[in-house]
Structure formats: C-alpha cells, structure tokens
Amino acid sequence: MAEKQKNNPLHGITLQMMLEHLVEVYGWEHLSHKININCFKSNPSIKSSLTFLRRTPWAREKVESLYLYTLRRIG
C-alpha cells in the first residue's frame, strides 16, 4: 500500500490541513480571489468551508491544486 502512495504529494494531508495552510499563506480575502467560491467570500470559516468542499468535488480539486502550487512555489 505504501508503494502506491509514494508519489502522491497529498498522501497524509487532510483537507483541513490544506485549507488552514492556504488561509495562513493567502488570507481569506486573497484566497477568495484565487478560488472564486462563496464559502471563502461570505463569512468564511474553516468549518463552513470544509462542509462545502467535502460535498463539492470541483471546488476540492481547485483547493488541492492551489495547495500543491503553493508548496512548489514556497519549497
């Protein structure tokens, strides 16, 4: 099983960890400009954003992509 995940940069990273990292790096306002979804614009919180992202695959993919981009840019 570990062999399958060896090349997966998101292995072991939860959606909450990704979101907290992005909020720390960009802040809610800038994050809402990078990913145009209401849960980042209107009264944003980690809890409400996680609820939305867990139910919305296209939005979760955008968060994952931005997270990976941010890691490459910083690292």
Single pTM value for the model: 0.87
pLDDT in the model for residue 75: 66
pLDDT tens for the chain, 75 residues: list them: 455 667 788 888 999 999 999 999 999 999 999 999 999 999 999 999 999 999 999 999 999 999 999 998 876
- Whether residue 59 contacts residue 52, with contact meaning beta carbons closer than 8 Å, is answered with yes
pLDDT in the model for residue 3: 58
Cα separation, 72 vs 9, in Å, equals 11
* CATH assignment of 26-74, among 2.40.10.340, 3.30.160.110, 1.10.720.30, 3.10.129.10: 1.10.720.30
